[in-house]
Structure 1
Amino acid sequence: MNGLARICWITSPLYLLAGMVFGIWMSATGDHTLAPAHAHLNLIGGVMMALFGTFYMLRPNAAVGALGKIQVALAHVSVWAMFPGIIMAISGGSETLAKIGAILFVVSMLMFVAIVVRSTSPRSA
């Protein structure tokens, strides 16, 4: 397994674990107001990192070079911004951090689309 896939596969279950603990906390308190933050942590942090890790493991050439590393780093930064940003927004604070995280993840996904297209073209097969 290459380094980029490994990073994704190490962080994915960590994000999922954090999301599970957060979900259990919401259940224990009976307050599910922050469920959107919980969902985004699980989906963006857990599921998408696993998807990225799987792709980079199956297509190791896509993990070579700066583009893949920047894409994954940007995805992580987006999780770190979006999760607390959604909590702040729901709690009556500013939505700025959530918006920044969302934009960063869209950019990360656009990069991922480019990486997938480039690495699955007939020339790279």
Structure 2
Amino acid sequence: MPKIDVSFILLSVLCLIVGIGMGIVMGAAHDFQFTPVHAHLNLLGWVSLALFGLIYKAYPALKTSWLAKAHLILSGSTAVIFPVGIYVSIAHENPAVAIAASFVALGGVLVFLANLVRVFFFAEKATTIADEALA
């Protein structure tokens, strides 16, 4: 999937927009009950997804496996579902969605690890964009 890096980065920016918007609303209302939701939108959404996207951009060989698409599906959906699960846990005292989403998040990271191991240890040559520019 050649646009996996772009997909991660665009999704991360959407999470950042929602996270900032939520922070503005909480600040204006002086109600910080849902700060963990805001924090996880920014951490799992903005930070993690953006880093994944940049890593896929830096190492194009990572994009060549079905693992990249599985990683996007698992981590991208978790960045949205996990904060919703935290909201439900706080507002309705039902942590089931947050617990389930945390396992999906772990799955996404394990798939990413498998892809990294595949490229860095078993592929012919894992080149970076900088390496390709110098060649």
Gapped runs of 5+ residues in structure 2? 127-135
Q: Secondary structure at the match of 1:91?
A: helix
CA displacement at 1:92 relative to structure 2: 2.9
Q: Secondary structure at the match of 2:125?
A: coil
User: Which residue is equivalent to 2:93?
Assistant: 93
Aligned-residue CA RMSD (Å): 1.3
CA displacement at 1:53 relative to structure 2: 0.4
Q: TM-score, normalised by structure 2?
A: 0.86
For the pair shown, the structure with the greater C-alpha radius of gyration is: 2
Question: CA contact under 8 A between 2:8 and 2:76: conserved in structure 1?
Answer: no
User: Which residue is equivalent to 1:62?
Assistant: 62
User: Which residue is equivalent to 1:3?
Assistant: 3
Question: CA contact under 8 A between 1:81 and 1:100: conserved in structure 2?
Answer: no
Paired-residue identity, %: 30
Q: TM-score, normalised by structure 1?
A: 0.92
Q: Distance in 2 between matches of 1:76 and 1:13?
A: 12
Q: Secondary structure at the match of 1:13?
A: helix
CA displacement at 1:64 relative to structure 2: 1.3
Amino acid at match of 1:69: K
Q: How many residues align?
A: 124
CA displacement at 1:124 relative to structure 2: 3.0
Gapped runs of 5+ residues in structure 1? none
CA displacement at 1:93 relative to structure 2: 3.1
Q: Distance in 2 between matches of 1:101 and 1:80?
A: 9
User: Which residue is equivalent to 2:132?
Assistant: none
Q: Distance in 1 between matches of 2:28 and 2:100?
A: 30
